[in-house]
Amino acid sequence: MKKIIVAPLNWGLGHASRCVPIIRSLIENGYTPVISTDGAALLFLQKEFPALETIQLPAYHISYAKNIKRHLLFQTPKILRTIVAERRVIEKFVSNNDDVIGVISDNRFGVRSTKVPSVYMTHQINVLSGWMTFLTSYVHRRIIRNFDECWIPDEEGSSLSGQLSRSKRNLHQKYIGPLSRFSKEQQQLEYDLAIVLSGPEPHRGQLEKKIRTILELYKGNIVLVRGVIEPEQKKSCIENITIYNYVLSKELQEILNTSEVVVSRSGYSSVMDYVATEKKAVLIPTRGQTEQEYLGEYLAEKGNVISVNENEFSIQHIEKAKDLKGLRKKERLFNSKLFGLFERK
């Protein structure tokens, strides 16, 4: 048995969801993934892959305020302690399991090992943070250099992530193409609008409340995926709105393929999902998350999406999105030859 640890950051569900195609590919190629994360990300992946072994990592317990960047800065000591703690957990697991041959970390700084090849996956080599961008990007690149390879889920030229993933520095980076658990299927439209929410609280809940208020007068069929991972899935219908607390991959793929327009945050994992399903999208960046603000603006300037501040979002933006061509992708499967790195143990 050849085990490979797959460890996504627990920040919304984006990092966990984009690890799904990697986990599937590992299984298809004869490897045994070991899921390693915490919180909602762990619960989500346990529901997706109930037969796989898991490792509970220490949680960052990051809290949020209006000024996200400043608030995160104040929490740096706590974050550093968690990074050290998760490193200990991984090193102990690798030492106690001789069949572990590699580690894939999705933005978890401490998830690496000195004993086996370790990969760091990110679309954000450059961490945009206003006047602190130079410092935050420098620190992030220093962290990346601790790993054997850096996998970037985008095409050469960074067509989706723009300046976030562009760097002339040698970080042993490989562009592995966009990652999504979904594919486009020709199905009859069932919903005029899909609202797919995720991300940290209280921002997720605030946006849900605002959108539901705005759409009270919307006449089309709506499906709302709240992005709240709970022990049991719940479904309810209120007039023209079908509401799920969460859905797993198969159901969400069907929802996207049967919806004309999708509204969500502009997280990069969501963008990759809309590329895979060729969706017309209205993106609402999380206030204070510079990465999401940049992605929304970057893709809107290319004419691929509608990007709007949550205070300005209206039904008119949904109508404008119907005239878009939608996001498009190049046909490309995840290259399983990348796993060859782990055979060099």
Q: Which residues contact 232 (CB under 8 A, 6 or more apart)?
A: none
How confident is the model at residue 257, as a pLDDT?
Answer: 96
For the segment 224-240, the average pLDDT, to the nearest whole number, is 94
> Is the preceding peptide bond at 77 cis, omega within 30 degrees of 0?
no
Q: Note the residue count of the chain.
A: 345
pLDDT digits (tens, 9 = 90+) for 243-288: 999 999 999 999 999 999 999 999 999 999 999 999 999 999 998 8
Strand partners, 238: 241
Residue in 67, 101, 103, 64 with CA at minimum distance from that of residue 86? 103
pLDDT surpasses 60 at 47: yes
| pLDDT value of position 168 | 86
Mean pLDDT of the chain: 92
Please, what are the domains in the chain? Answer: 3-178+332-344 (3.40.50.2000), 191-321 (3.40.50.2000)
Assess whether pLDDT exceeds 70 at residue 67.
no
Report residue 315 as tokens. Answer: 């039904």
φ and ψ at 55, to 5 degrees?
Answer: -120, 125
Q: Is the pLDDT of residue 322 over 60?
A: yes
What pLDDT is attached to residue 64?
55
What integer is the mean pLDDT of 61-76?
59
Lowest mean pLDDT among 18-32, 70-84, 125-139: 70-84
pLDDT of 43: 96
Q: How far apart, in Å, are the Cα atoms of 51 and each of 3, 20, 78, 112, 167?
A: 14, 14, 33, 24, 39
13 touches 40 (CB < 8 A): yes
Instruction: Give all strands (DSSP E) within the chain, no chain letters.
Output: 3-8, 32-37, 54-56, 100-106, 118-121, 149-152, 173-175, 191-196, 222-225, 235-238, 241-244, 259-264, 280-283, 306-307
Q: What is the pLDDT of residue 283?
A: 98
Q: Residues with Cβ < 8 Å from 262, sequence gap 6 or more?
A: 193, 194, 195, 196, 256, 274, 279, 280, 281, 282
pLDDT at residue 49 in the model: 98
Q: What is the pLDDT of residue 63?
A: 58
Asked whether residue 337 carries a pLDDT value surpassing 60, the answer given is yes
Please say whether the beta carbons of 244 and 225 come within 8 A: yes
Q: Average pLDDT in the 290-301 region?
A: 94
The model carries a pTM of: 0.92
What is the pLDDT at residue 40? 92
pLDDT tens per residue across span 87-142: 999 999 999 999 999 999 999 999 999 999 999 999 999 988 887 888 889 999 99
Task: Give the Cα separation of 32 and 53 in Å (integer).
Answer: 9
Higher pLDDT: 86 or 168? It is 86
Asked whether the predicted pLDDT for residue 57 surpasses 90, the reply is: yes
Instruction: Determine whether 161 is exposed, middle or buried from the number of CB atoms within 10 Å of its CB (0-12, 13-18, 19+).
Output: buried
* Residue, of 218 and 325, whose pLDDT is higher: 218
Q: Is the pLDDT of residue 66 over 60?
A: no
Is residue 159 a contact partner of residue 199, using CB atoms and an 8 Å limit? no
92 neighbors 115 (Cβ within 8 angstroms)? no
Say what the pLDDT of residue 281 is: 97
Taking the C-alpha atoms of residue 160 and residue 117, their distance in angstroms, rounded to an integer, is 28
What distance in Å separates the CA atoms of residue 108 and residue 8, rounded to the nearest whole number? Answer: 7
Q: How confident is the model at residue 207 (pLDDT cuts 50, 70, 90)?
A: very high
Tokens in use for 311? 């205070």
pLDDT of residue 79: 84
- Of residues 42 and 344, the one with the higher pLDDT is 42
CB 57 within 8 A of CB 86: yes
Task: With a cut of 80, say whether residue 330 has pLDDT above it.
Answer: no
